[in-house]
């Protein structure tokens, strides 16, 4: 047996397991290369994103009416990139609001989000030289319980009579509660949910909606920061890579299944080894080159002898090592 498989040959790289890490690495490289490439270049093209052009208009209208701009950076349990991204967009919004000295209200779902929100928004006011105008209570923690949060925010929307509302980030069921409440008082609404399942409701109830990926493109679009624009280009490369990989798969699979005449197999790959079949069977997508490439098989017979730890006492029920 392969008992002396090198320790460098990690479990996740056995059979076709290497594809995953390799592919991930490739995407990361694409993104980083483009960030590097973007460097100073500021004039890189980004296609128009309707929702974002409406931001200034929305804030402007809020100022005319002298009513606050309300923002919700999604319902993530803790801070993650989605929250950061939402707050990046909101800091752009707050920047405009600050210049018009228009009140803002950011409703946070969890304490970590609240922490980052405070930090980021205060930053914005400082950069604009309006540190004294910043009201710490304009970034609020509402509740970390989904529907208490929903009740609280819709209460705020109605009482504060928000003129413009921004819902961006992770939204779930409550998305429609917010959207319809805001709609009922005639606020301009710009929304986006990374959850495809909620987008239709925003589409139904809001004025402008960023669909899926547009959310991540937003801050690049708004700020034209080379880093962001570069990474956006990189992301496009990644999407194309995915698309091409799929296309290659399409073609190779189509060929291997045998157009107009189904290929019959005489041997199949099982436990990471080719084994002959007693009677031929029609090939399936699991047997094709791509099929195997994207699905690692593990060899149960692969065993490795190691010396035992002298002072190790096994538990009464031996636990499997987590070599998963």
Partner 1 sequence: MSHENYLKLKLGIGVLATIGLYSVLFRENKFYRFFEHIFLGLASGWALVVLWTETLKEKWWDKVVGSAAINGDPATAGYWAYVLLIPIGLMGYFVFSKKHNWMSRIPIGIILGMWSGQQIQVWFNRYGPQMRDSMKPLLPTSTDSFFVPSTANLTDPAQIAQINAQVYPSEALTNVVYVFTLLCVLSYFLFSFEIKSKALKVMTTSGRWLLMIGFGAIFGSTVMMRFTLLIDRMYFVWIEFLKQGILGGS
Partner 2 sequence: MSLGEKLMSIPKWALYVVLILVASVPLFVPIKVPNQPIEPAIDLYGSLMNLPEGSTVLLASDWTKSTRGESNGSFDALVKILMRRNIKLAIYSSGDPQAPQVARDAIAVLNNEQRAKGLKTYDRWNDWVTVGFFPNAEACANAIANNVRTAFSGRTESTPEGTKRDVFQSPVLQKINKVSDFSLMVVITASKTSNITIERIYGKGVNLAMMVTGVMGPESLPYYSSGQIQGLGVGLKGVYDMEQLMETGITKEMNSSKWGVVPGFPGESNIGNGSRYYPTLHACLLLLIVAVVVGNIGTFLTRRKAK
Partner 3 sequence: MGNFLLQAQPSLNFWNGENGSTGLWLKIGLALLAGIAMIFVLMQAPSQARRPIVMFVTFVSGLFYVLYYFWPRPVDRQPGELPRDFVETVSFYIDDAFGIVTDLSSVLSGLLLGLGIYSLLSVHLRRISRKQRDWGFSLVLLVSMFGMTGIGYWDWISRQGEAGIRLEDPNNWTRINYVKDMFFDGVLQNMDAAMFSIIAFYILSAAYRAFRVRSIEATILLVTALIVILSLMGAVEFLWNGAIDGITRNDANSFMNNLKLTEISKWLRDTVQGAAIRGIDFGVGIGALAMGLRIWLSLEKSGGKS
Q: Report 73-132 residues binding partner 3 (CB under 8 A).
A: 77-78, 81-82, 84-85, 87-89, 91-92, 95, 108, 110-112, 114-115, 119-120, 123-124, 127
Rounded to whole angstroms, the Cα distance separating 97 from 93 reads: 6
CA distances from 80 to 10, 83, 85, 256 (A): 30, 5, 9, 43
**Shortest spacing between CB 5 and partner 1, in angstroms:** 23
Partner interacting with residue 172 (select from partner 3, partner 1, partner 2, none; CB below 5-8 Å by kind): partner 2
Of the residues 10, 212, 267, 273, which one makes contact with partner 1 according to CB under 8 A: 212
Under the binding rule (CB under 8 A), the answer on residue 318 touching partner 2 is yes
Contact 181, 158 (CB under 8 A): yes
| Positions 170 through 229 that interact with partner 2 (CB under 8 A) | 172-173, 184, 195-197
Partner interacting with residue 23 (select from partner 1, partner 3, partner 2, none; CB below 5-8 Å by kind): partner 1
Which is closer to partner 1, CB of 59 or CB of 230?
A: 230
Under the binding rule (CB under 8 A), the answer on residue 321 touching partner 2 is yes
Partner interacting with residue 266 (select from partner 1, partner 3, partner 2, none; CB below 5-8 Å by kind): none
Under the binding rule (CB under 8 A), the answer on residue 212 touching partner 3 is yes
Which is closer to partner 3, CB of 9 or CB of 281?
A: 9
What single string gives the DSSP state of each residue in 122-165?
HHHHHHTT-GGG--GGGEEE--SSHHHHHHHHHHHHHHHT-SEE
Please give the structure tokens belonging to residue 304. Answer: 């490795």
In the 8-state DSSP scheme, what is residue 77? S
Contact 19, 293 (CB under 8 A): yes
- The contact mask relative to partner 1 for 97-116 (x = CB under 8 A, - = no) is ---------------x--xx
**Shortest spacing between CB 112 and partner 2, in angstroms:** 13
Please give the structure tokens belonging to residue 215. Answer: 């959310």
Partner interacting with residue 7 (select from partner 3, partner 2, partner 1, none; CB below 5-8 Å by kind): partner 3
What single string gives the DSSP state of each residue in 82-128?
HHHHHHHHHHHHHHHHHHTT--EEEEESSHHHHHHHHHHHHHHHHHT
Under the binding rule (CB under 8 A), the answer on residue 314 touching partner 2 is no
Partner interacting with residue 317 (select from partner 1, partner 2, partner 3, none; CB below 5-8 Å by kind): partner 2
Of the residues 13, 57, 128, 214, which one makes contact with partner 1 according to CB under 8 A: 214
Under the binding rule (CB under 8 A), the answer on residue 229 touching partner 3 is no
- Strand, coil or helix: 303: coil
Which is closer to partner 3, CB of 70 or CB of 222?
A: 222
CA distances from 262 to 90, 232, 250, 265, 277 (A): 56, 42, 16, 10, 17
| Positions 165 through 204 that interact with partner 3 (CB under 8 A) | 173-174, 176-177, 179-180, 183, 194, 196, 200-201, 203-204
Cα separation of the two ends of the chain: 20
Please give the structure tokens belonging to residue 224. Answer: 């034209």
Of the residues 43, 132, 137, 320, which one makes contact with partner 2 according to CB under 8 A: 320
Rounded to whole angstroms, the Cα distance separating 189 from 182 reads: 7
Of the residues 58, 205, 210, 229, which one makes contact with partner 3 according to CB under 8 A: 205
Of the residues 171, 178, 201, 208, which one makes contact with partner 1 according to CB under 8 A: 201
Contact 254, 231 (CB under 8 A): no
Please give the structure tokens belonging to residue 98. Answer: 């600050």
């Amino acid at each position: 047996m392969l008992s002396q498989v090198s320790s460098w040959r990690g479990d996740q790289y056995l059979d076709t397991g290497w594809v995953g890490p390799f592919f991930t690495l490739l995407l990361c490289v694409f993104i980083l290369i483009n960030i590097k490439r973007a460097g100073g270049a500021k004039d890189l093209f980004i296609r128009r994103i309707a929702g974002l052009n409406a931001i200034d208009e929305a804030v402007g209208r809020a100022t005319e009416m002298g009513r606050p701009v309300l923002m919700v950076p999604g319902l993530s349990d803790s801070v993650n990139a989605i929250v950061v991204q939402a707050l990046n967009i909101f800091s752009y919004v707050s920047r405009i609001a600050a210049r018009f000295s228009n009140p803002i209200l950011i409703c946070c779902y969890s304490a970590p989000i609240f922490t980052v929100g405070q930090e980021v928004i205060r930053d914005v006011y400082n950069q604009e030289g309006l540190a004294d105008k910043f009201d710490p209570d304009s970034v609020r923690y509402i509740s970390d319980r989904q529907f208490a949060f929903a009740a609280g925010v819709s209460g705020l929307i109605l009482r504060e009579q928000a003129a413009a509302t921004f819902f961006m980030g992770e939204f779930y069921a409550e998305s429609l509660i917010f959207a319809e409440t805001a709609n009922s008082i005639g606020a301009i609404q710009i929304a986006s949910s990374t959850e495809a399942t909620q987008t239709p409701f925003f589409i139904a109830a809001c004025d402008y909606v960023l669909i899926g990926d547009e959310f991540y493109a937003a801050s690049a679009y708004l700020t034209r920061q080379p880093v962001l624009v570069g990474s956006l280009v990189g992301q496009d490369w990644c999407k194309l890579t995915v698309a091409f990989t799929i296309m290659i798969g399409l073609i190779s699979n189509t060929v291997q299944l045998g157009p107009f005449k189904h290929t019959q197999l005489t041997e199949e790959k099982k436990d990471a080894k080719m084994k002959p079949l007693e009677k031929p069977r029609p090939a399936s997508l699991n047997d094709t080159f791509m099929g195997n490439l994207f699905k690692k098989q593990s060899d149960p017979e692969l065993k490795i002898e190691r010396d035992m730890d002298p002072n190790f006492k096994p538990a009464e029920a031996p636990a499997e090592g987590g070599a998963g």
